[in-house]
Structure 1
């Protein structure tokens, strides 16, 4: 089945009722109690971001949530933090669900994430943190991995502000048809390179407007939206926020966008590289503030190139750790198809002043002074990617690493140190990195390596179309 994107789309009001107005974000617990009592809210989703950055959880009775779960947490199987994308729980993870008899962890709700879902009327969503049977946070949970790095920043009196820029491809086919076609031969929603174009994306505007409106109603602030290079490609950019909240918004946005596409009878994907065209990126903008809210990266006369000395060291840390931490930015086999020469994605290690060909782009001034980290793709787990950026920056600051000269011109065409070219290379660099072990601890290193090895094992056991075409007759 295929569908169009113009007048044949259902009106926006069919899936996003215009009234009542959205509640404040986060939704106050007392507001939730009142809406449960009135029948406006009939379900609460208690969820946990998993290793892939997906929202995993259960619908619970809303009165049970407000009376008990908000205080005691909600049990869920430990394997949610130790599976691949197919929900296969292989041995080898630092938190091994099989060794523990597939026991439970507790999802402790974080009420700062409580919101109503306009694409699922009557439903509230709350994200939570994983706690073990001993009551302690599960160290390898992605949300905890990020919190640990943010706590390290807080020890210096700093906090991180971040924004993630996600790209995705929209297809006219619905998800069931795409699945039955083995995701081959799908029809992109637009026909041309529509980067910054206006007329070429009018056919997808109803769906894009629906997504933007829905995200605004969940507490996000849309800054911009536009077509991108690949046919059917689009990008919606949201206002930066505290790093943890940005990552929470990121995973809710991905889940909601998929549901809204399904309701419109179409499909979209955030995978890093769908075909030979441009891939889907997830550029991360990040800056630091001190306890008074002053920008740590702003030019204060202590550094070069319009940066503070802290920003210089922070950028130098990105370069020093980029190869070792690449698994945190590119977690899948497919990720490295995007990180290839001539794919308009970084493949070398370097930085530049407002240079989009570099993996680290230094941009802005004063309060807007920040880095744009361009390595992650649309498949990256935002918690892990941002945690790695913060950890690398702190390493650079702690070691007072000197910043090399910036790359001038097209970094794609220049020689120099390179990012890993495969998942095998990335996991080897990660497992053998003393820096990773010092920044994240041995359990996180082992856990993420096991996740990568699970992906490698699944891929090596499969037979691809490429192999059949190449060897069926001629092998």
Structure 2
């Protein structure tokens, strides 16, 4: 719908309130419910929103190391703008209208730290090159018979999973929780997040969902909304869903793999496919893949943004640790899927389910385009067999501090995303490390309390 059609719909259905939200640096949706009149008044001029949403972390603790905002600036408002094309209704909230917002609007300079605005800039570069990028993200997450109150009461210990045991691809487990399972599939699709597949993964109470591919911005919007929508639907069933990358050291982590391909602007041809190549990969595809391999160590925090992300990126845990690629190889960082012309794509396997989809997808697309623009050669051979053993081309940083420091110091990140974003984002990641470094863990107490 365009703006005129949306306004007519809201008036015709006597809608009195509208919900909107945008993603912060961590990918957390921040938003409001506003009156119909406020919604109408701000469609062109935007809506003032306290810029603390880009000046605090996921626990609302204000950063002390960023320039964008803070006590020094007085935390003023910045204008965010609703994207009218994102109109949808929330089926589990009496079909209240919902819109996605960001910090780029008519005649306004985009806020450089806004993740959605950043991705829009990368998409614009792709458009100028004449390509249509298609993306999709898939997520794994764990479900528990817990509430926010019970989690706090238990100290996040001894949690009761939705189902016991390791039972990947089970037909039985979803049937035993059919009301929740069907609500996920049906209501997400009604919410314009079309689900391609939904199944259990190996682990107690863990599900995986693949979202249908779409043009880049729409794909990222779907991925961002998916995580909050799952949590809200779960809550209605007395459940809590977590998208932590690794909630338990003894269980597999949760991935957020990104699938991508480039298509011709006219004719709808998959430009990643070449039937004459031994791997069915076009030269464009090879440049794109080479770009991701080259940029990967410089941009890792955009794929792995939390302390917990790196607990998942360990050997033998279905997550990559090396700078590698392979044909249908799930042990490498990048997996080429070439089963048919239509389905040929690249899967970036580094991201966990804790990623900010706007930033992870921006990193993937910008890296690929970098390879194309610089005609990078795919000089790294495809890994056959165990990618964990192939360390010839380097390994991924094993912690957030090293990854964020590398990104902060590389000119490449600034070239791709601008100095303002890179400075702010890496400072937020280093803050995250600092909060972790000063905490005292249960592991330390059990190990040192009596023995030292």
TM-score by length of 2: 0.94
In the TM superposition, residue 82 of structure 1 has moved relative to its aligned partner by 2.7
| Contact 2:46–2:105 (Cα < 8 Å) also in 1 | no
| Contact 2:26–2:355 (Cα < 8 Å) also in 1 | yes
Any idea what SS the aligned residue of 1:355 has? coil
Change in CA separation of 1:135 and 1:97 when aligned onto 2, cut-off 3 Å: farther
Cα RMSD, aligned residues only:
1.9
Q: What are the ranges of 5 or more consecutive residues in structure 2 without an aligned counterpart? A: none
- Alignment of 1:455 with 2:429, yes or no, is no
Alignment of 1:40-439 (within 5 A): 41-65=15-39, 67-131=40-104, 135-276=108-249, 277-292=251-266, 293-299=268-274, 301=276, 305-364=279-338, 365-403=340-378, 404-416=380-392, 417-439=394-416
Cα separation, 2, equivalents of 1:363 and 1:133: 40
Any idea what SS the aligned residue of 1:111 has? strand
| Contact 2:298–2:410 (Cα < 8 Å) also in 1 | yes
1:99-155 Cα deviation digits (max 9, x unpaired): 432011111110111111112114211111215999311011000111111111111
Question: 4+ runs of 1 displaced by more than 4 Å?
Answer: 26-29, 131-134
1:30-78 Cα deviation digits (max 9, x unpaired): 3554445544x3321121111111211111002331x312222111011
In the TM superposition, residue 29 of structure 1 has moved relative to its aligned partner by 5.0
In structure 2, the residue matched to 1:440 is: 417
Change in CA separation of 1:115 and 1:133 when aligned onto 2, cut-off 3 Å: closer
Cα separation, 1, equivalents of 2:269 and 2:132: 10
In the TM superposition, residue 179 of structure 1 has moved relative to its aligned partner by 2.2
Cα separation, 2, equivalents of 1:133 and 1:390: 25
Q: What are the ranges of 5 or more consecutive residues in structure 1 without an aligned counterpart? A: 1-25
In the TM superposition, residue 412 of structure 1 has moved relative to its aligned partner by 2.3
Change in CA separation of 1:28 and 1:230 when aligned onto 2, cut-off 3 Å: farther
| Contact 2:325–2:334 (Cα < 8 Å) also in 1 | yes
Cα separation, 1, equivalents of 2:295 and 2:304: 14
Change in CA separation of 1:457 and 1:36 when aligned onto 2, cut-off 3 Å: farther
TM-score by length of 1: 0.90
| Contact 2:247–2:253 (Cα < 8 Å) also in 1 | yes
| Contact 1:357–1:410 (Cα < 8 Å) also in 2 | yes
Change in CA separation of 1:406 and 1:122 when aligned onto 2, cut-off 3 Å: closer
Cα separation, 1, equivalents of 2:448 and 2:78: 47
| Contact 1:27–1:114 (Cα < 8 Å) also in 2 | no
Cα separation, 1, equivalents of 2:416 and 2:396: 20
Any idea what SS the aligned residue of 2:371 has? helix
1:190-224 Cα deviation digits (max 9, x unpaired): 21222112113322332121121111111122111
Change in CA separation of 1:29 and 1:181 when aligned onto 2, cut-off 3 Å: farther
Change in CA separation of 1:300 and 1:28 when aligned onto 2, cut-off 3 Å: farther
Instruction: Point out the more displaced range, 380-389 or 213-222.
Output: 213-222
1:432-462 Cα deviation digits (max 9, x unpaired): 2121121111111101111101211211222
In structure 2, the residue matched to 1:9 is: none
Any idea what SS the aligned residue of 1:149 has? helix
Cα separation, 2, equivalents of 1:368 and 1:122: 34
| Contact 1:226–1:236 (Cα < 8 Å) also in 2 | yes
Cα separation, 2, equivalents of 1:297 and 1:284: 16
Cα separation, 2, equivalents of 1:366 and 1:119: 38
Instruction: Point out the more displaced range, 113-122 or 354-363.
Output: 113-122
Cα separation, 2, equivalents of 1:177 and 1:425: 35
1:314-372 Cα deviation digits (max 9, x unpaired): 11111111111111000000000000112111011100001111110000332322101
| Contact 1:119–1:256 (Cα < 8 Å) also in 2 | no
In the TM superposition, residue 173 of structure 1 has moved relative to its aligned partner by 2.0
Cα separation, 2, equivalents of 1:278 and 1:32: 47
